[in-house]
Structure 1
Amino acid sequence: MRRPTSGIWRRGAAIAVTAVCVAYAPIAMTELWPYASPGAPAFGEWVMSRTVSPRYVADALATRVGPYRHSLVPMIVHSVLGGLLMLLGPAQLLTAARRRTRVHRVLGVVFAVTVYASMTGAGLYLARTAPEDAFSGPAFWIVLTTLLVGTVLSVTFGIMGAVGGFPDLHQRWMLLCYGFLLTAPLLRLEWGGLPWLLPGLSMEEINHVAIMHLGSVVTFGALIASRTLDRRTKVDGVSGSWAPLPVLAAAHLAGAAALAWIVSSYLDFGPAGRRLLLGYLLPYAVTYAVMAVSARRAGRQGRGWAREEWRLHLTALCLAPVLSAGATPVFERTLGVDHPTALSAGVAVGCGVLATAATAVVSLRVMYARELRKRSTAAPAAAPTSRVSSPAS
């Protein structure tokens, strides 16, 4: 039985996300205007200058003139449409909650087309910009590229879920897609908030801390939203677990070994490494604790489907450091970056990539269950009927 406060919590979370999105929309839409027309209003710069300091903003944007101007049109398309997506997302959640099916479908088409168009603009910018010329360097370029791919994949799988008659999977993928989009306003909040916790850092250094956890935060938020909206205790055709205790134990051991290597590496980088490590470990620990407790609680309450989904995502979270450790030498060799940069890039993308993989496994779990139901239903109809021959006359 759900506690009465759960409904209040859901409404509060929805209101908070909507407020952030609506407030960020005009900031996103005007962010690139000064590069096209010097002196044009940019609400984001205005707010950040008063939240932190004008020098903080000026130093950050001084190196952006060249990289932005040679891809100005794609970037403006990306930012303006990104602002529109901030408004379409809450509208989609509202129409789904109110069961306005026709409006939801129309807005869904607009949302998907806008995502593709906006990500095309971002892709053109990234293709024209060398990793070392990106804002905050190669690690940030890798994170932006990963976010672009994740956003496009998630909206595509969301469309496939709707067309294929899997509304639950459609919901999961679209929430994940919007989670990736929310990295933009959340990063701006960190630009304004982290200087109070870490005074003296530049915006570039703030970016390095932020990417340590933004991917895990938004994908975890999408999972929380999915589990909150999915109240089923079981799914027909789902039995057993694709993440049994031996698999979960092996994932924990591999993850612990990789995490120990990551911690040791960052401790060798001095104060900056310890700062990045804290930015990674604290959200990771909170996410792990919530997933582990939720999976155990669901098991005790007999909610088998919730337990299975929590365990699949927990397994993926444990394996995220393994991916990060494995990606580090790949980034070093393919992009020619130093070890600290490659490690930060690997850590930054690990949780987001594995959360996307876990959502794909959950989708396969549901589709496999449907196939089992179809086969069990069709089996009796396909069974041969006995034929009784009449006696010879």
Structure 2
Amino acid sequence: MNRPRGIARGRAAMIAVVVVCVGYAPVAMTELWPYAHPGAPAIGQSLLGHMVSPHYVATALATRIAPYRHSLAAMIVHSVLGGLLMLLGPIQLLSAVRRRIRLHRAMGVLFAVTVYVSMAGAAVYLLRTAPRDAFSGAAFWIVLATILVGTVMSVTFGIGAAVGRLPELHQRWMLLCYGFLMTAPLLRFEWGALPVLFPGLSMAEINRIAVMHLGSVVAFGALLASRALDKRATVPGVTGSWVPMPVLAVAQLAAAGALVWITTAYLGWGAQGHRLLAGYLVPWVATYAVMLWRQRRAGREGRTWAREEWRLHLVALCLAPVFSLATVLPLERAFGLDRETAMSAGVAIGCGMLAFWATAAVSVRALVAREVLKLQQKSEAEGDRMPAAAVQAP
């Protein structure tokens, strides 16, 4: 009974992703038209105005005129190609699932080139925009820069895995890359949805809450998709675990200590601090609970490879709050930030960055397993040749 339910959930998730991507594509492509030609239609702004209020949208966008016009050509390239990526992503996913290899490869080349050019446009904007001038402040600038680097590195590693004929690793890196790209439509969705929970807040304040968990949500979604597509119970060459129970226990204790520190800090920052804390802590706890349950269930069912991947990501999730705290002082010094802004930036990027390194750890685990298997096969082949040589000896 579990398998049909799992298949149904997987199809539902795939349909949801396709609908979101196809629906967001025209929003992304037209988002900056009014800055180039005042009065030009902008689908996203119109929808958001109807969902919340025209004042909510107008107040937020009024502060964007100067920063966007300063890098308008680069931003238009970024947004138009970003819309194209929203269309290419579902094509890549469906062609991979249906094993349309030629289509997948051809669209994959287009996808990779589009990612690089689109991210180059975003990089021009970030380089020309001071962190304090970014929408909702410097913390968002740091989040955008981190997503940009994560996207470019993920697609690069995905290309390397494809060239190296490592389809499972290629799949993981490309799903993570697309997860980072999905931060754009999901952020717009939260701009419209969160005012229901927090009425009266400006879009800038809503944005600060949303980015507290956006990286962790998309990285977790990429992990769920990877695990759903990888049906292998075991992987030859993988024995034992790189994350034994004592290591997992220490990571969880470190997470508890860091979360207490973060919670104490945010509770002292008034109502906005409470909202930011909720925006971070609730998704983190939910993600932790799912990962803990999944790795335990995989262990009980004897699916050692699934358990290992879940554990590596669980440790990364536990270390994310520790990493976030470790970045506060460097961010303060590097960008001249106050403690609250620096901590918000560190917390916002922690889960996404550690998920990236967890994916790298899974990749290294798989590569080590492949080398171990090669050595075993070589040793067995040499062992088979030795008796024959012994018989021929005088």
Q: TM-score range by the shorter chain?
A: over 0.9
Give how far 1:381 is off. 3.5
Q: Map Cα deviations across residues 128-173 of structure 1 (whole Å, 9 max, x no partner).
A: 1100011111000000000000000110111111111110000000
Q: Which amino acid aligns with 1:250?
A: V
Aligned to 2:296: 296
The aligned amino acid for 1:61 is L
Q: CA deviation at 1:323?
A: 0.3
User: What corresponds to 1:134 in structure 2?
Assistant: 134
Question: 1 CA distance for matches of 2:115 and 2:191?
Answer: 24
1:54–1:372 distance in 2 versus 1, CA, 3 Å? same
CA–CA separation in structure 1 for the residues paired with 2:48 and 2:360: 38
Where does residue 95 of structure 1 map in the other structure? 95
Whole-Å separation in 2 of the counterparts to 1:243 and 1:105: 35
Secondary structure of the residue aligned to 2:3 is coil
Whole-angstrom distance in 2 between the partners of 1:5 and 1:255: 33
Identity %: 65
Using the alignment, how far apart are the partners of 1:381 and 1:52 within structure 2? 69
Shift of 1:380: 3.4
Q: What is the rounded CA distance, in whole Å, between the counterparts of 1:298 and 1:96 in structure 2?
A: 25
1:331 paired to 2:331: yes
Question: Post-superposition shift, 1:3?
Answer: 3.2
In the other structure, the counterpart of 1:143 is 143
Q: C-alpha separation between the residues in 1 aligned to 2:179 and 2:2? A: 25
- After superposition, the C-alpha distances for 1:213-260 in whole angstroms (9 at most, x for unaligned) are 000000000000001111110000000001111111111111111111
Where structure 1 has 5 or more consecutive residues not aligned to the other structure, the ranges are none
The code of the aligned residue for 2:122 comes to A
2:390 alignment partner, one of 366, 386, 390 = 386
Question: Partner residue of 1:117?
Answer: 117
Deviation at 1:379, TM superposition (A): 1.9
Distance 1:60 1:371, change over 3 A: same
Could you say which residue in structure 2 is the equivalent of 1:285?
A: 285
Distance, in Å, in 2 between the alignment partners of 1:148 and 1:184 is 12
1:265 aligned residue:
265
Q: How does 1:235-254 map to 2 (within 5 A)?
A: 235-254=235-254
CA distance in 2, matches of 1:184, 1:274: 25
- Structure 2 length-normalised TM: 0.97
Tell me, which stretches of 5 or more residues in structure 2 are unaligned?
none
Q: 1:99 to 1:389 in 2, by over 3 A?
A: closer
Where do residues 119-198 of structure 1 align in structure 2 (5 Å cutoff)?
A: 119-198=119-198
> Segments of 4+ in structure 1 off by > 4 A?
387-390
Distance 1:120 1:379 in 2: 48
Instruction: Determine the C-alpha separation between the residues in 2 that align with 1:70 and 1:388.
Output: 81
Root-mean-square deviation (CA), in Å?
A: 1.0
Partner of 2:309: 309
TM-score (norm. length: structure 1): 0.98
Aligned residues: 390
The worse-fitting range, judged by mean Cα deviation, of 247-256 and 27-36 is 247-256
Give, in whole Å, the separation in 2 of the partners of 1:281 and 1:346.
Answer: 14
CA offset digits 1:29-51 (Å, max 9, x no partner): 01011111111111011111111
* Map 1:25-104 → 2, pairs under 5 A: 25-104=25-104
* Structure 1 residues 239 and 67, CA gap change in structure 2 (3 angstroms): same
Cα distance in 2 between the residues matched to 1:198 and 1:388: 84
Distance 2:30 2:271 in 1: 36
The one-letter code matched in structure 1 to 2:101 is: T
Corresponding residue for residue 13 of structure 2: 13
| 2:359 paired residue number | 359
Cα distance, 1:115 vs. partner?
A: 0.3
The residue number in structure 2 matching 1:225 is: 225
How far apart, in 1, do the equivalents of 2:360 and 2:170 lie? Answer: 11
CA deviation after TM superposition for structure 1 residue 2, in Å: 3.6
- 1:286 maps to a residue whose letter is A
Cα deviation for residue 382 of structure 1 reads 4.1
